[in-house]
Chain A
Amino acid sequence: MEDLTSPKQDKKNQELGEARRPWEEIAASSQDPKSGLSEPLEPEQWLETGPQPRSGPPQSPQSRASPPLDDVTGPGAPSPPSPAPEASFIPSTLALARQQLAAPWQSDRTTDVNPKAETPHSHRLEQSSDQGKSTAPQTCQSEGDIFQQSQQTERHLYGPEDVSNNNSKQKELRFNIFQEEDSNSNYELDHTESGVSEGAPSPLEIAIQSAKAYLLKTSSKSGLNLYDHLSDMLTKVLDERPENAVDIIESISQDVKMAHFRKKLDTLQNENEMLPIYETAEKQKALFLQGNLEGVDQELEDEIAENSLPNVMESAFYFEQAGVGLGTDETYRIFLALKQLTDTHPIQRCRFWGKILGLEMNYIVAEVEFREGEDEEDVEDEDVTEERDDGDSDAEENDEDELPRTFYKTPQVIPKEENRTGANKYVYFVCNEPGGTWVKLPPVTPAQIVTARKIKKFFTGRLETPIVSYPPFPGNESNYLRAQIARISAGTHVSPLGFYQFGEEEGEEEEEVEGRRDSFEENPDFEGIQVIDLVESLSNWVHHVQHILPQGRCNWFNPIQKSEEEEEEEDEEKEEEKEEPEYMEQEVGPPLLTPISEDLEIQNMPPWTTRLSSTLIPQYAIAILRSNLWPGAYAFSNGKDSALTGWASSMEQ
């Protein structure tokens, strides 16, 4: 008896308090098929009534120790099997807890049997320890075992036992507890115990100890033990007193397990965690609501008539065959965003160019061609600034300093190309997310393209970010983005041979633009090229965007002419002679509609990789072209139908 109240138990006793006992009792009693809890109360009831009813039963066994002996031993082996199936064979406390409410308590079993047959939870009860309640803790054992165990432990109450017998029994008990028992061994024990004499630790206590030891056994997988877990759980329940605790006991158990992995946080919770989701959802909802305007019918007709929007979903389907794509719903949202763009701006033709990944946010890029005469706003500003610069340089020269004059003439700024020509043929809009506002990117200047070729930077996702690099980039992220888009388009926009053809030649072009044809149109007679051919040879594909010269423009601009004019002015002022300007060679690039087989190799690697989308079903396969220079640029072609040729560049930079 002396060891039953171990220090651990004491602590637990103090912690848990009286009120816990009834709860444990209930849990305990459910495990014992023979226990007759005469008060089949709900947990709340138990707790409300408090310790009072508790004090009753513990004391009673003492008085009723002897009479029930016959009671218990009477029925013996035969009767126990009957109640056993009802209550036992339950692997967890939870089910037990449930069951105990459901199981009809056997009234023939007196309440004192109940305390005797408690689980180790009862160890916390101060009084119970004195009585050496027997335990039937082996929740995982078979039915017969439970019972046999309780049977024998009950017997322990009543007989005086030998110490030696106790020890052997203790060992046997423990042995039995930790392994699967068979009823035979139990019967043996029973027989040996009947004539047992009293010893210092009674077999009942031993049984309790071993049961507790079993519960304290740590799991090999998780390092927890059932004893601690159950006590944590019950602590939590009794602290929080939830409604219908028995119904949510499994989630309580899970929460307790999860609480091991969480640090102690204060109870303040972040309310705004979910807000950004809702905001984005709101924005995107607006996308979907676009169509519900009044006067829908007429607008529908108008829209169908001048459809400047491409069929993004169809292209997305083909790209998916290639393994490239953004996911169906995101593509659809992009589709709607493009529609929004075409609705708000007067756009002739629009295309989804691709998605560029950035550090903080990404860019979705749309290539747009405005209707005639729509976008002339920005042009004048540029000219003004250029003139101002020239004015400044003149002012300096007029100073009568004695500083030596340098002969260095700043290289003339090469003017950017006019809108709708060359690198500025298309206007690009970007947005960070479908549903966000579209921002127009400024036209690109040759200086920006030249510098962009020399640097390599990641995009952050914000257009105003300055680009810090060497050589210094003239502009911020929006300019850099525009320059990269221009380079990518020039390098990777291809189409099958013959899809586009040159327009009718309307007179010869001016001298400066030497025979460069820069306009093309769809070839109505395009019959399509077999997919096999497209995959086989790169000469079946041609670039349909003008190549950008090293100068940074598509059409060569000869800076010499202008500088000659300036020189004439200066000669009048200065006395020194100028050197002859060097003759600058005209830069020539491959003309439009050059087959891509002419592309240069990169580091001994062919510039393009071709693939069939599927060799299992070649009749429906499409040809996929992947650029090795710009990773992420893809082109596909169906080969049979010219309208389905498409391309997109989803870039990672």
Chain B
Amino acid sequence: MDAESLLLSLELASGSGQGLSPDRRASLLTSLTLVKRDYRYDRVLFWGRILGLVADYYIAQGLSEDQLAPRKTLYRRGRGRKLGNQDPGDVVGSLNCMEWSLLPPATEEMVVQTSVLKGRFMGDPSHEYEHTELQKMSEGEKVFEEEVVVQIKEETRLVSVIDQIDKAVAVIPRGALFKTPFGPIHVNRTFEGLSLSEAKKLSSYFHFKEPVELKNKTLLEKADLDPSLDFMDPLEHDIPKGSWSIQMERGNALVVLRSLLWPGLTFFHAPRTKNYGYIYVGTGEKNIDLPFML
């Protein structure tokens, strides 16, 4: 959600039950404006919060002028406590909880590497997960398997999880961005919100990422699309079908999409207004039981 309309967006997204406490809200407001200034982003989005065992991560993303360019991700560790014998008043990590650190961009290998990690996040970015792998080593003529213990840092895991969530479930309504013939994507200043009938359909929402499915569409389908608006994949054809729960709250004054694949991702939009946004508050685990649960 946009950092500028943070308070309103949090209020609108509160239907899922998870939000932010007042002191976090206040600190976020100030720190996000500072981030915007320091890093010179065009827009700063508050992405959400990943709950960990010891501490939580607060994630923000910065966007440059071109909205679909790779986003820079920043994180900040919330206050937590170390299990053990320390005083609970100590905060592990930076005492100044206004500081954001930049995360490295995600790569394919990172995603593959961390796909073996299961369980919750610890909350400590330098925590190392140990994962034993069986690797085939060949020595001379013998080929045998050896167990290798691979250490993966939690920061890497964080990066890949954020990337996966973004690719899978970041949502934007149709018409909010438009593509110019020169290439860059811009925020559509005349976007006044979806109408009510459009808001109830999954096809009016797009994945906020580079399109993957568009090329596979037949020409007939493409004929109906408007190239300046329909340049991203709609949510309609997500597999498995039904992995989005779309609900109207407050009568028809608010439409809320919740992802069932990554539970904790909430997208909200007030039809006929410019308010929309998404936030992820959850444990950072994919729901692989989804097909069984539907």
Residues of A within 8 A of B (CB): 220-223, 254, 257-258, 260-261, 263, 270, 273-274, 276-281, 320-327, 330, 355, 357-362, 455-458, 469, 532, 535-536, 603-606, 609-618, 626, 628, 631-632, 650-652
Contact = CB atoms under 8 A, between A and B. Distances in A.
Contact of A276 (B18, B188, B228, B252): B252
A357 B258 contact: yes
Nearest to A455: B292
Contacts of A254: 190
B81 A614 contact: no
Contacts of B190: 254, 257-258, 261
B11 A327 contact: yes
B89 interface: yes
A629 B245 CA distance: 23
A631 B50 CA distance: 13
Nearest to A610: B81
A220 B184 CA distance: 11
A21 to B, nearest CB: 30
15 contacts: A261-B190, A276-B251, A277-B250, A277-B251, A277-B252, A278-B251, A321-B21, A321-B22, A323-B24, A360-B247, A457-B292, A457-B293, A532-B88, A606-B53, A628-B120
A261 B228 contact: yes
Interface string B207-245: 000000000000000000010110000000000001001
Given A223-B180, A273-B196, A280-B251, A357 B18 contact: no
B88 A330 contact: no
A603 B119 CA distance: 7
Contacts of A273: 195-197, 252
A611 B81 contact: yes
Contacts of B91: 615
Contact of B119 (A277, A604, A614): A604
B245 to A, nearest CB: 4
Contacts of A632: 17-18
Given A261-B228, A456-B293, 14 more contacts: A222-B180, A273-B252, A274-B252, A276-B248, A276-B251, A276-B252, A323-B24, A327-B11, A359-B260, A532-B88, A606-B83, A614-B21, A628-B120, A631-B263
Contacts of A263: 226
Contact of B18 (A324, A604, A612): A324
B275 interface: no
A614 B242 CA distance: 39
B204 interface: no
A320 B22 contact: yes
A264 to B, nearest CB: 11
B216 to A, nearest CB: 23
Contacts of A469: 292
A435 to B, nearest CB: 10
Nearest to B23: A614
Most chain A CB neighbours (cut-off 10 Å) among B188, B248, B293: B293
Contacts of A326: 14-15, 17
Interface in B62-113: 79-81, 83, 88-89, 91
B253 A535 contact: no
Interface of B: 11, 14-24, 51, 53-54, 79-81, 83, 88-89, 91, 118-120, 175, 178, 180-182, 186, 188, 190-192, 195-197, 226, 228-229, 242, 245, 247-248, 250-253, 258, 260, 263-264, 282-283, 289, 292-294
Contact of A270 (B175, B178, B197): B197
A632 B89 CA distance: 25
Contact of B260 (A220, A277, A360, A458): A458
B127 to A, nearest CB: 13
B241 to A, nearest CB: 12
Given A456-B293, A535-B81, A613 B197 contact: no
A279 B251 contact: yes
A324 B88 contact: no
A308 B80 CA distance: 37
Nearest to B53: A609
A631 B81 contact: no
B88 to A, nearest CB: 6
B251 A281 contact: yes
Contacts of A603: 118-119
A261 B16 contact: no
B269 to A, nearest CB: 15
Q: Which 9 A-B pairs have the closest CB atoms?
A: A280-B251, A650-B17, A277-B251, A327-B14, A273-B196, A323-B21, A258-B190, A359-B245, A277-B252
Nearest to A613: B21
A652 B17 contact: yes
Contacts of B197: 270, 273
Nearest to B26: A616
Contacts of B258: 357, 652
Most chain A CB neighbours (cut-off 10 Å) among B120, B226, B228: B120
B188 A536 contact: no
A147 B70 CA distance: 48
A629 B244 CA distance: 24
Given A277-B251, A616-B23, A323 B196 contact: no
A223 B178 CA distance: 11
Contacts of A612: 79, 81, 88
Contacts of A223: 180-182, 228
Contacts of A270: 196-197
Contacts of B178: 261
Contacts of B51: 609, 626
B53 A605 contact: yes
Contacts of A617: 23
Contacts of B119: 603-605
Contacts of B191: 261
B240 to A, nearest CB: 12
A457 B293 CA distance: 4
Nearest to B250: A280
Given A270-B197, A604-B119, A652 B263 contact: yes
A618 B89 contact: yes
B149 to A, nearest CB: 16
Nearest to A354: B17
B53 A362 contact: no
A263 B17 CA distance: 37
A26 B181 CA distance: 34
Nearest to A621: B23
A324 B282 CA distance: 12
A355 B17 contact: yes
A457 B16 CA distance: 18
A535 B88 contact: yes
A651 B264 CA distance: 11
B263 to A, nearest CB: 5
Contact of A536 (B22, B88, B118, B252): B88
Contact of B17 (A280, A325, A455): A325
A65 B284 CA distance: 80
A260 B289 CA distance: 43
Contacts of B89: 615, 618
Nearest to A317: B22
A628 to B, nearest CB: 7
A606 to B, nearest CB: 7
